[in-house]
Structure 1
Amino acid sequence: MKIAFIYPGQGAQYAGMGKDIYEKYEEAREIFEKADKALGFSISKLCFEGPEEELMKTENTQPAILTVCVALTKVLQNRGIKADVTGGLSLGEYASLVLSEALDFEDAVRLVKNRGKYMQEVVPQGVGTMAAILGLENEVVEEICRVASEVGIVEPANYNCPGQLVISGEVKAVERAVELAKERGAKRAVVLAVSAPFHCSMLKKAGELLQKDLEKVEIKDLKITVISNVTADYAKKEEVKDLLVKQVSHPVLWEQSVKKMIEEGVDTFIEIGPGKTLTGFVKKIDKSKAAYNFENEESLLKTLSALGV
């Protein structure tokens, strides 16, 4: 069995995430306590109790999800489950870098708080948006973006799985792309309820601001292989900072990243963190591979049982 730990991105959050694991496992509590101390406020309380409107703020969402992912990972590792390779969707890559010991958790949680703030602030609310296009080939959606870009910026943002691509850009251009996608026979083309046009060139400034923070952080040798979602290839130590900067304004190559892990012999994926969106994507990319999720005590027991632990 060759195992990949995979980590979700923004959008997976919900009030109550990680609470039962925090209450039961000392190693998880330690991570939440470290996060509270590093951030100077109780991200734990926000994870467990909300309120939703505070948890939904990008600058809170990102450190909240990262903290839950890392806390859960410690629990899994203490049960003897080890990853051979790891990858995360956008924000999730920070959890992969913590797992690989390239990035200290405290540094990572502070970085993603600022990352969320920059991503939210560089484009005024109402200027940009995103849309999900389902049921069309990637090449068709890419062509639709080229045509719709006559009215403004619109670009592929998330290559999630076959037949599911999220686009991002200026409101008018995204709406035009949605119309074109429907004309081309998309099963579904819908504008998403998001606060910013993530993973497109409009967020380049956010990446530049993040770069200044990254300059103050040390990247150490990677102990576990990390697949970067900017390149869908190995992240090398000397490239990590540059990849994290690019990630903010470049498309997330998730489908391609999962295929790369499969090429490397991965046959078992464990999604660690809130939700099970990535587990669904893996099944759509290659249904012959095993995919499990761990977000609470119930799913932990199911996953351990499936792995024969």
Structure 2
Amino acid sequence: MKIAFVFPGQGSQYVGMGRDFYGRYAEAQEVFAQADAVLGFSLSTLCFEGPKEELQKTVNTQPAVLTASIAALAVLRAHGVGTDVAAGHSLGEYAALVAAGALDFAAAVRLTRRRGQLMQEAVPLGSGGMVAVLGLDRERIGEVVRAARAKGVVEAANYNCPGQVVLAGEMPALEEAVRLAKEAGAKKSVILPVSGPFHSSLMRRASELFALELEKVQVKKLAFPVVANVSGDYISTAAEVRSALIRQIYSPVLWEESIRRLVADGVGVFVEVGPGKVLSTLIKRIAPGVNCCNVEDQASLEATLTFLRKAGLL
């Protein structure tokens, strides 16, 4: 039975994330200290103490979630836990690539900070957003999106799990999509607390500018496979990594396909490394038969280690 490490994205952040590990482990302290040094301000204080409003700004959220995830990874590895494969949801893909050795952590901190800036600046604040639609299948969602385009740009941005698709676009078109989704039988539509229409064609310019940043960064050989958001398939070369990260900014996150691919290839245990349990919840909906653990603090670490020992995986 294979193990996969999965890394959360934007939306999993909370004030206090990483603090427990920081107080207990030198490995976590080193990760946060490196991020603080790279950014030139105390990201660790922002993670541990807030304020929440600052932590939720995309430009801060992205390096913060990455750092909290890599700190958790360092603690997990210090306890002898390894993985066969990895994946990350949107921003989480950077943590997966750091884990696989493709990206240096310091470079990933800089990249996610810049990615956050470019994505935040791509569309005027308030003119675009994202909405999670619950309870419709993909065919119905496609019909809703096509009809709502009469009011502007709207696209499927995240295929998270069966019955949960996130839409991104211009506000009038999103509002129309919410109305049409309700008519089509959607259980619920939830406006997400993000500052722009991420993973949509409105991010094209951001991706072009980000590509210039990525050119400055060395991408190394992966120590183990990573499944990319844009394809739901493995990437293994530096060229594939660069292409996936550029395209990811304006393309939908194929999370359901990614998890199905991993399960088909023998993954039976998913360890969510970093803040929250969002991915564990989605994975259980995609593949109810698999085991999910998470590692974000000492209590969750101990529960995961106990499970892995009992399963003969540690």
- Give the alignment's TM-score, normalised by structure 1: 0.98
Moved more, 87-96 or 37-46: 37-46
Is 2:222 the counterpart of 1:205? Answer: no
Deviations 1:208-243 (A, max 9, x none): 111111000010001110000111001132211111
Instruction: Output the CA distance in 1 between the equivalents of 2:145 and 2:109.
Output: 34
Equivalent residue number for residue 25 of structure 2: 25
Instruction: Output the CA distance in 2 between the equivalents of 1:67 and 1:95.
Output: 8
List aligned pairs for 1:249-288, cutoff 5 A.
249-288=250-289
Is 2:147 the counterpart of 1:147? Answer: yes
Q: Which letter does structure 2 place at the counterpart of 1:121? A: E
Q: Which letter does structure 2 place at the counterpart of 1:275? A: G
Contact 2:227 2:234 in 1 (8 A): yes
Q: Which letter does structure 2 place at the counterpart of 1:47? A: C
Q: Which letter does structure 2 place at the counterpart of 1:235? A: I
List aligned pairs for 1:98-117, cutoff 5 A.
98-117=98-117
- Matched length: 309
Is 2:253 the counterpart of 1:229? Answer: no
Deviations 1:5-48 (A, max 9, x none): 00000011111000010110111111111111111111111111
Moved more, 185-194 or 97-106: 185-194
Tell me by how many angstroms 1:190 deviates: 2.9
| Identical residues among aligned pairs (%) | 52
Equivalent residue number for residue 218 of structure 1: 218
The 3-state SS of whatever aligns with 1:126 is coil
Contact 1:178 1:191 in 2 (8 A): no
Equivalent residue number for residue 86 of structure 2: 86
Instruction: Output the CA distance in 2 between the equivalents of 1:170 and 1:270.
Output: 35
Deviations 1:109-129 (A, max 9, x none): 000000001000110011101
Instruction: Output the CA distance in 1 between the equivalents of 2:91 and 2:193.
Output: 18
Instruction: Output the CA distance in 2 between the equivalents of 1:73 and 1:194.
Output: 26
The 3-state SS of whatever aligns with 2:151 is coil
Equivalent residue number for residue 183 of structure 1: 183
Instruction: Output the CA distance in 2 between the equivalents of 1:225 and 1:283.
Output: 22
Equivalent residue number for residue 118 of structure 1: 118
List aligned pairs for 1:233-244, cutoff 5 A.
233-237=233-237, 238-244=239-245
Contact 2:58 2:194 in 1 (8 A): no
Instruction: Output the CA distance in 1 between the equivalents of 2:195 and 2:27.
Output: 34
The 3-state SS of whatever aligns with 1:268 is strand
The 3-state SS of whatever aligns with 2:207 is helix
The 3-state SS of whatever aligns with 2:169 is strand
Deviations 1:141-162 (A, max 9, x none): 0221111112100000011110
Deviations 1:79-126 (A, max 9, x none): 111110100000000000000100000000000000001000110011
Moved more, 191-200 or 31-40: 191-200
Show structure 1 runs of 4+ deviating over 6 A: none
Q: Which letter does structure 2 place at the counterpart of 1:266? A: V
Q: Which letter does structure 2 place at the counterpart of 1:79? A: H
In structure 2, stretches of 5+ residues that fail to align are none
Q: Which letter does structure 2 place at the counterpart of 1:229? A: N
Instruction: Output the CA distance in 2 between the equivalents of 1:12 and 1:193.
Output: 11
Q: Which letter does structure 2 place at the counterpart of 1:50? A: G
- Give the alignment's TM-score, normalised by structure 2: 0.97
Deviations 1:232-268 (A, max 9, x none): 0011322111111111111000111010111111000
Instruction: Output the CA distance in 1 between the equivalents of 2:303 and 2:44.
Output: 25
Tell me by how many angstroms 1:193 deviates: 3.1
Instruction: Output the CA distance in 1 between the equivalents of 2:98 and 2:130.
Output: 29
Instruction: Output the CA distance in 2 between the equivalents of 1:304 and 1:22.
Output: 19
The 3-state SS of whatever aligns with 1:131 is strand
Instruction: Output the CA distance in 2 between the equivalents of 1:78 and 1:194.
Output: 34
Instruction: Output the CA distance in 1 between the equivalents of 2:136 and 2:204.
Output: 28
Moved more, 192-201 or 83-92: 192-201
